Amino acid sequence: MQLALFDLDNTLLAGDSDFQWGQFLIGKGLLNEQDHLAKNIAFYEDYKAGRLDIYAFLDFQLKPLSEHKRAELDALHQEYMAQKIRPMITDKARALVEKHRQNGDLLMIITATNSFVTSPIAREFGIDYLIGTTPEEVDGEFTGKVVGTPSFQTGKITRLNEWLAERDQTLQDFEMTWFYSDSHNDLPLMKLVDKPVAVDPDAILQSYAEEAGWPVISLR
């Protein structure tokens, strides 16, 4: 069996689900636009530059989850999927996932974005397995804190290895391993798989992929 790993934001999605969740909450009047948007943009610039403080970002990004009841958040997410996410899913992205599904591959989305935001997106793609940063829950409600290792940069390797260990597997147990990503932040994991593929890559990943002879594709 082969393993096909997909980054989510700006890879399978033609946009960023984390950023758009904030924009959605602003549009609903649940976040202060001036304060939240400026901070969100600053964090996103740090991410693109490879200098993101992931824990500072998660303190910022998970706080809104702690300010609303889970039932309200679930209802909001359904609206967010319709307004923000489905328009960012291209036919090419769906076709790529379907190609691997038809090949009988094990499919997984592995993303730094928290699992509350991303679980329904994985289901939209028909992908059963998701590794996302895990927001802490107490009695079914979010606390605004994170559990375990954030799935960001080398944290994706840590989380993937933990998941594989639970299945008594390693990457070497698969005939072939794939990882599709747009971001140089994912280079640590891309270097570990058999078939790294740069998808609509940022400038740093584009340059690295060209030098390494990796495929470069567009899903836009």
The residues that are catalytic are: 7, 9
3-state secondary structure of 135: strand
Q: What is the token pair recorded at 131?
A: 């590794």
17-27 and 70-80 are packed helices; what angle lies between their axes, rounded to 10 degrees? 110
Considering only CA atoms, which of 135, 214, 131 is closest in space to residue 166? 131
- On whether the CB atoms of residues 159 and 178 are closer than 8 A, the answer is no
Handedness of CA 102, 202, 195, 131 (dihedral sign): negative
